[in-house]
Amino acid sequence: QFLFVVIFTTFLLCCVDYDVLFANRPLNHSQAGTDRAKVTLPDAVLPGPHPLCSGRIRASGWIIFMLVMAAVFWLYRLVKVLCSVLGYWEIRSFYIKALNIPSEALCNHSWQEVQARLMALQRRQQLCVHKKELTELDIHHRILRFQNYTVAMVNKSLLPIRFRLPLLGTVVFLTQGLQYNLELLLFRGPGALFQNAWSLRPQCKRAGARRELAQRLARAMVLLGVANLLLCPCVLLWQLLYAFFSYAEGIKREPGSLGARRWSLYGRHYLRHFNELSHELRARLSRGYKPATNYMNSFSSPLLAVLAKNVGFFAGSILAVLIALTVYDEDVLTVQHILTALTLLGLVVTVARSFIPDEHTVWCPEQLLQRVLAHVHYMPDHWQGNASRAETRSEMAQLFQYKAVFILEELLSPIITPLILIFALPPRALDIIDFFRNFTVEVVGVGDICSFAQLDVRSHGNPQWLSAGHTEASAYRQAEDGKTELSLMRFAIAHPRWQPPRPSELFLSHLKEQVQRDAATAPPARHVLPEGTLATSLLS
């Protein structure tokens, strides 16, 4: 895709005669009997290695610079893809030879079955030499080492991704570009805090070196931000071209697609449990997509609906007349810009209709929000009883954003990401160093992991939850919003044979007793609606 976008864009800039295409210059046809008024597409394309095409490329230093930058990036991507292919080939061989799962039968096995075969293989051949057996938690720690750190940092509000702007209020900005830069700084870059894929740098574990490390990290943040600033024109151009080629056709075909919603990148980190694999997170959020859409659609602005009805009426009236004229005489289509007018009017009508609520639909925001909670499992305490408030909806929109907002954020990312790296992130450098030192533990056979991922309610439990009286964690060491407890519940349900730590086992036993008491006082099953909150929560 990258290679196609670069070549196709260069072709459009240098190898198309737009004066001929737009009929601004008469075309000199030399063949007899040729319709002189008819211009074909090949007439506007400069054929082969045309001197005018190559001359335009050589004459523009800006185009040559962009092509050189694109070639360097493409070679980097090529090397990265080749390394990934080698890694995937090793994984494929491991599945076939060690786990006895041929490629054609892979789709018939669940992750739990693959995991069971891996643990059985460890007992027979001891792949991990430092311990006799691997547990389900050990396997997830290896796979999700860096993801668990990121989830914990978002949970503790350590990353500067929340800003208060005039007129807009509180906004959350976390894009793929910003996340990539954070991973370079903390996990994968040449000067990252992790020296390899499993071990934190030794000096990061010493309290005496914290200020020196913080200064070094802040300097790396600024340098990386400056590098992003220098590359901003190239990255911004790529983002614009890729967004245009990716979404233009879909928007023309279905203009309402921009009004569809998606879970934001921040929402995926905020709602993710510790030790939750990517496919498990996708499945859980996909189950919550429809309830979340219904909740967000339950809010409507009467003023906006009135404006949309009138705009839709005016645009629809003009569109109806133009369509009637084209049906009466198709020569109307030859009028300049008539097709553009038809397309834009259709787009305006479609967008206006999306702002008009269904008059026969009655929503109950509290029940809708409870259905969302049954799948996503997390929400701030102040949302309870306030589901109908605009503040709750705006905070929910930070987790469940419009697709148009997602596209806009990605387009602005090359401009805003350097500013965050240079100005907002360095003041947090000391806190980040302290976080990695205080919340990193070394597990035999696994390496350095985030201590939150151990699911120990005594070390990281929250007294507001059922672990009250069974936690020794200070406010600094507690996970927010019951992240430790909910992650422990989910992992224990998904892996019933896993043996949790003693404090966590006590918490789970108390929880089961509470669930049994609640079930005893719940109404009979025949009185529970199929789409009720209780049934949805149990299925989730």
| Burial status of residue 275 (CB atoms within 10 A of its CB: 0-12, 13-18, 19 or more) | buried
Residues 6+ apart with CB under 8 A from 210: 430, 433, 434, 437
Answer whether residue 537 shows pLDDT above 80: no
The predicted structure's pLDDT at residue 20: 85
Quick one: pLDDT band at residue 126, thresholds 50, 70, 90? confident
Across 475-481, average pLDDT: 92
Q: Where are the domains of the chain?
A: 145-300+362-433, 302-355, 455-512
Using CA of residue 512, residue 513, residue 519, residue 522, what is the dihedral sign? negative
Report which secondary-structure segment, H or E, holds 396. helix 390-399
148: three-class secondary structure by DSSP: helix
Check residues 523 and 495 and name the one with the higher pLDDT.
495
The predicted structure's pLDDT at residue 35: 53
CA distances from 186 to 73, 160, 222, 484 (A): 22, 15, 14, 23
pLDDT in tens, 130-149: 888 999 999 999 999 999 99
> DSSP letter string over 9-59?
HHHHHHSB-HHHHTTSS-----STT--TT---HHHHBPPSS-HHHHHHHHH
Quick one: pLDDT band at residue 519, thresholds 50, 70, 90? confident
Across 95-99, average pLDDT: 95
Answer whether residue 471 shows pLDDT above 60: yes
Quick one: pLDDT band at residue 532, thresholds 50, 70, 90? low
Answer whether residue 540 shows pLDDT above 90: no
Answer whether residue 235 shows pLDDT above 70: yes
**164/437 Cα distance (integer angstroms):** 30
Quick one: pLDDT band at residue 466, thresholds 50, 70, 90? low
Answer whether residue 529 shows pLDDT above 50: no
The predicted structure's pLDDT at residue 360: 74
Across 256-266, average pLDDT: 89
Ranges of H-type helices in 33-160: 41-44, 51-59, 61-93, 111-125, 136-143, 145-155
The predicted structure's pLDDT at residue 72: 95
pLDDT in tens, 181-196: 999 999 999 989 999 9
Answer whether residue 249 shows pLDDT above 90: no
Per the CB < 8 A criterion, the answer to whether 261 and 372 are in contact is no
Answer whether residue 528 shows pLDDT above 50: no
The predicted structure's pLDDT at residue 527: 46
Q: Hey, what amino acid is at 540?
A: S
Residues 6+ apart with CB under 8 A from 370: 533
Answer whether residue 157 shows pLDDT above 50: yes
The predicted structure's pLDDT at residue 291: 94
CA distances from 120 to 106, 138, 480, 496 (A): 18, 14, 36, 17
Q: Hey, what amino acid is at 80?
A: K
Answer whether residue 525 shows pLDDT above 80: no
pLDDT in tens, 7-60: 999 999 998 888 888 878 777 655 544 555 677 888 888 876 668 888 888 888
Across 146-156, average pLDDT: 98
Q: Which residue has the tokens 């001891």?
A: 126
442: three-class secondary structure by DSSP: strand
* Residue 156, both tokens: 């503790």
With pLDDT > 90 as the criterion, what percentage of the chain qualifies? Answer: 66
Quick one: pLDDT band at residue 361, thresholds 50, 70, 90? confident
pLDDT in tens, 297-353: 888 888 988 999 999 999 999 999 999 999 988 888 888 888 889 989 988 998 888
**489/383 Cα distance (integer angstroms):** 22
The predicted structure's pLDDT at residue 37: 60
The predicted structure's pLDDT at residue 491: 96
pLDDT in tens, 99-120: 999 999 999 999 999 999 999 9
DSSP 8-state code for residue 220: H
Q: Quick one: which of 227, 235, 232, 234 has its CA closest to 422? A: 227
202-210, long-range: CB within 8 Å, 24+ apart, which pairs? 204/433, 204/436, 204/437, 204/440, 205/437, 205/440, 206/437, 207/437, 210/430, 210/433, 210/434, 210/437
